[in-house]
């Protein structure tokens, strides 16, 4: 026997009877036990009534009535004076911005956007912006776009004012970053529906409440990306500045912020996109005009107008994304070698841009463009009529399209949603609580398991166990479909540069779109009310999962792959036995992020009658039933945290023998 063979023979092998200790096997055993209990005792036993806080909804209604009385009082106390002042100030800011855009006229606003983009972002980005403004006018939606612009820019300005200083502080202080990270995680984990009702109670309905709701969602990216930019400044540059006697303020103003300019502009880009995504949902609590209000109000009353407004939101999101991304690239100090002559030309270009904008505004006033922009390119009524004809076609039971979509929807409900809903809802609540907690313990560890137990217990105490389990079943179905689509695509993207090149722009577009926009077309394509939210959730979550899976597989070290190939492993064997196992932390992170994104869209499906917690919040908002709506919001919050903890995974280093 050779020396190599002797070494191989002496390598300890795991005992054959230890396979059952693998975490996935144990999780499967827990799920199997839950299924057995469901089959043997599926009598719909819910949360014990003795442990429910039955007076919570009524107490919240009374609290909301008291708040309204205090806020409308002639002499409110200091707290309510501050709340009223914040709401009024935000309303005035949105109104001022809307008036500004309106006074600039369509021609002036278009010139402002296009010329600024041309100056700082280039021709291609300028053409994107010009096309967007022309489409808004052609659709006859300019007034509503102005309202959306005003609301979005108000939220973005305030989000950056709050987020960038916090990001700078987090970038320069490890202690502050550790303290603020859980807060940012909570703000991004919680679906928007979970805080719509509390915001309404504190600030009533209107633009101010919509701005605050939008800020909660758009501040985290401003903080995170700004901190990342500050930390990305080369250490030797910082040390050189410190050696030359720069103070902390000089270091920040003259070294860190200039060198982090690209990341700061990326922060602006992501903050705008997050704000635009939330502005649509905030249309539920915004009594003014705007594309979000058109979408939410038109879902059941004017489908063609809702679809048209959704298309305008898509165009707005893509054009803003392209413009801000181009500005970040072109103004990156690492790519710019500015001489004095170039500075002079830039000053001339900036002055020419300002003059051209002023000239366009003047021409707009002279030609009265403000009253004519709604019909540029055709009649919006004609366009709505064509859209309505298309909707009537896909909803007609005698058409080929309906036969396909109805078959998909009916089979998805019959073989996926309905059985899983029965399993979650009818399994005894204490058993389901114990099972989900045990799964969290096996997958993520003790602390996440304790948090999962606490959050699920909160759901039961507030009396929303059945609705929460209904929502959870929808989330699980959507997550399974997402992984079926996204996992193989992520592997393919990682293994093929050509596929990555083709798929990347598609993923960029899908990640740009607001959540509610995904829902609009499937409301009419899928006749079953519960299905549109599932399909929309799959589309919304898939891009992130694809990117995380692809990144995890690409990050497998080359020497590991080369070692496997040296032993004669084929490409398929390397993928299945080396890359995918070593990328499981990234894959688990994809599952975690996917389930949070799926939950965010599934609860929005409550707007179109998908049931569960989302429907209760939507009904509470529409009918003014604040108590039940807030209780459902609390349950969404708890469910989001529980699902996050269950799927977070244990990403700490593991010994080879424990794999």
The structural domains of the chain, ordered by start, are: 29-76+395-652 (1.10.3720.10)
Measured CA to CA in angstroms, residue 24 lies from 28, 428, 440, 441 at distances of 6, 24, 12, 12
Tell me the pLDDT tens digit for each residue of 529-567. Answer: 788 888 888 998 999 899 889 988 988 888 888 888 888
Higher pLDDT, 550 or 354: 550
* pLDDT cut 70: percent of the chain above it: 84
What confidence category does residue 95 fall into, taking pLDDT thresholds of 50, 70 and 90? confident
Range scoring the smallest mean pLDDT among 174-183, 315-324, 395-404, 577-586:
395-404
Tell me the pLDDT tens digit for each residue of 119-166. Answer: 778 888 888 888 888 888 888 888 888 888 888 888 899 999 999 999
Mean pLDDT of 249-272: 82
Residue of 273, 271, 363 whose CA lies nearest to 314: 273
What distance in Å separates the CA atoms of residue 202 and residue 94, rounded to the nearest whole number?
Answer: 19
Mean pLDDT of 201-211: 80
What per-residue confidence (pLDDT) applies to 369?
46
* Cβ atoms of residues 120 and 261 within 8 Å: no
Q: Does residue 374 carry a pLDDT above 70?
A: no
Q: Does residue 246 carry a pLDDT above 70?
A: yes
Tell me the pLDDT tens digit for each residue of 453-503. Answer: 999 999 999 888 988 999 999 999 999 999 999 999 999 998 888 998 888
Q: Does residue 643 carry a pLDDT above 80?
A: yes
Neighbours of 281 (CB within 10 A): 26
**Crossing angle of the two packed helices 418-426 and 23-40, in degrees rounded to 10:** 80
Higher pLDDT, 66 or 377: 66
Tell me the pLDDT tens digit for each residue of 5-28. Answer: 444 444 444 444 455 567 778 888
Mean pLDDT of 379-396: 75
Hey, CA dihedral for 13, 18, 19, 21, is it positive or negative? Answer: negative
Mean pLDDT of 386-400: 78
User: Would you give the distance in Å from CA 174 to the centre of its chain?
Assistant: 26
* Cβ atoms of residues 611 and 470 within 8 Å: yes
Residue of 416, 468, 435, 421 whose CA lies nearest to 42: 421
Q: Which residue has the tokens 């050696």?
A: 243
Tokens of 320: 């803003």
What per-residue confidence (pLDDT) applies to 657?
38
What confidence category does residue 365 fall into, taking pLDDT thresholds of 50, 70 and 90? low
Mean pLDDT of 209-216: 86
What per-residue confidence (pLDDT) applies to 24?
77
Residues 6+ apart with CB under 8 A from 166: 180, 219, 222, 223, 226
The greatest distance separating any two alpha carbons of the chain, rounded to the nearest whole angstrom, comes to 97
What distance in Å separates the CA atoms of residue 462 and residue 55, rounded to the nearest whole number?
Answer: 9
What per-residue confidence (pLDDT) applies to 658?
39
Q: Does residue 626 carry a pLDDT above 70?
A: yes
What distance in Å separates the CA atoms of residue 156 and residue 150, rounded to the nearest whole number?
Answer: 10
Mean pLDDT of 371-377: 43
What per-residue confidence (pLDDT) applies to 482?
93
Instruction: Please give the mean pLDDT across all residues of the chain.
Output: 79
Apex 11 CA angle, 6 and 13, nearest 5: 135
Higher pLDDT, 142 or 331: 142
Q: Does residue 659 carry a pLDDT above 70?
A: no
* Cβ atoms of residues 605 and 539 within 8 Å: no
The string of DSSP letters for 167-185 reads HHHHHH-HHHHHHHHHHHH
What distance in Å separates the CA atoms of residue 117 and residue 301, rounded to the nearest whole number?
Answer: 37
What per-residue confidence (pLDDT) applies to 484?
93
What does the DSSP 8-state code read for residue 416? I
* pLDDT cut 90: percent of the chain above it: 8
Mean pLDDT of 581-605: 85
Neighbours of 454 (CB within 10 A): 14
Tokens of 22: 């693998």
Range scoring the smallest mean pLDDT among 11-15, 212-216, 222-226, 479-483:
11-15
Mean pLDDT of 565-587: 85
What confidence category does residue 347 fall into, taking pLDDT thresholds of 50, 70 and 90? low
Higher pLDDT, 581 or 622: 581
Range scoring the smallest mean pLDDT among 191-200, 440-449, 563-572, 649-658:
649-658
Higher pLDDT, 71 or 383: 383
């Amino acid at each position: 026997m050779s020396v190599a063979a002797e070494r191989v023979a002496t390598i300890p092998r795991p005992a054959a009877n230890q396979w059952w200790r693998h975490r996935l096997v144990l999780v499967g055993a827990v799920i199997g036990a839950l299924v057995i209990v469901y089959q043997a005792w599926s009598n719909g036993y819910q949360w014990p009534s003795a442990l429910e806080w039955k007076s919570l909804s009524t107490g919240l209604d009374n609290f909301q009535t008291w708040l309204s009385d205090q806020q409308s009082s002639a002499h409110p106390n200091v707290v309510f004076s501050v709340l009223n002042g914040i709401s009024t100030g935000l309303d005035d800011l949105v109104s001022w911005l809307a008036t500004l855009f309106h006074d600039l006229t369509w021609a002036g606003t278009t010139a402002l956007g296009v010329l600024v983009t041309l100056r700082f972002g280039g021709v291609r980005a300028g053409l994107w912006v010009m096309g967007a403004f022309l489409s808004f006018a052609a659709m006859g939606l300019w007034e509503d776009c102005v309202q959306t612009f005003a609301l979005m820019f108000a939220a973005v300005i305030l989000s950056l004012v709050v987020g960038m200083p916090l990001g700078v502080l987090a970038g320069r202080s490890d202690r502050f970053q550790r303290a603020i990270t859980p807060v940012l995680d909570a703000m991004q984990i919680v679906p928007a529906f979970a805080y719509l009702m509390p915001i309404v109670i504190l600030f009533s309905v209107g633009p101010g409440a919509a701005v605050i709701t939008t800020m909660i969602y758009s501040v985290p990216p401003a903080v995170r990306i700004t901190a990342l930019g500050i930390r990305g400044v080369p250490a030797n540059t910082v040390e050189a500045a410190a050696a030359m006697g720069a103070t902390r303020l000089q270091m920040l103003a003259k070294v860190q912020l200039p060198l982090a300019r690209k990341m700061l502009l990326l922060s602006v880009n992501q903050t705008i996109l997050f704000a635009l995504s939330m502005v649509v949902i905030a249309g539920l609590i915004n009594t003014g005009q705007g594309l979000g209000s058109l979408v939410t109000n038109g879902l059941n009353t004017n489908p063609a107008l809702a679809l048209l407004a959704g298309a305008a939101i898509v165009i707005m999101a893509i054009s803003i994304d392209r413009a801000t991304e181009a500005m970040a690239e072109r103004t990156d100090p690492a790519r710019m070698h500015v001489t004095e002559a170039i500075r002079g030309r830039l000053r001339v270009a900036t002055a020419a841009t300002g003059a051209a904008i002023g000239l366009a505004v003047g021409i707009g006033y002279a030609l009265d463009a403000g009253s004519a922009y709604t019909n540029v390119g055709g009649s919006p009524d004609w366009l709505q009529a064509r859209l309505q004809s298309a909707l009537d076609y896909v909803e007609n039971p005698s058409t080929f399209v309906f036969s396909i979509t109805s078959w998909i929807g009916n089979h998805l409900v019959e073989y996926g949603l309905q059985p899983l809903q029965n399993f979650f809802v009818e399994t005894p609540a204490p058993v389901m609580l114990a099972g989900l907690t045990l799964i969290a313990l096996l997958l993520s560890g003790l602390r996440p398991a304790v948090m999962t137990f606490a959050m699920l217990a909160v759901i039961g105490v507030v009396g929303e166990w059945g609705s929460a389990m209904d929502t959870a079943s929808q989330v699980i179905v959507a997550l399974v479909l997402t992984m079926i689509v996204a996992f193989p695509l992520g592997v393919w993207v990682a293994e093929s540069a050509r596929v990555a090149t083709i798929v990347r722009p598609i993923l960029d577009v899908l990640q740009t779109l607001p959540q509610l926009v995904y829902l609009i077309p499937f409301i009419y394509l899928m006749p079953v009310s519960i299905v549109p939210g599932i399909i929309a959730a799959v589309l919304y979550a898939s891009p992130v999962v694809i990117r995380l899976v692809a990144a995890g597989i690409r990050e497998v070290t080359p020497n590991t792959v080369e070692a496997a190939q040296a032993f004669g492993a084929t490409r398929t064997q390397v993928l299945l036995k080396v890359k995918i196992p070593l990328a499981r932390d990234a894959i688990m992170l994809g599952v975690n992020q996917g389930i949070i994104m799926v939950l965010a869209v599934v609860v929005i499906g409550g707007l179109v009658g998908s049931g569960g917690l989302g429907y209760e919040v939507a009904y509470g908002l529409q009918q003014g039933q604040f108590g039940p709506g807030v209780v459902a919001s609390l349950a969404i919050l708890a469910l989001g945290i529980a699902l996050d903890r269950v799927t977070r995974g244990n990403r700490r280093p593991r010994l080879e023998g424990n794999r």
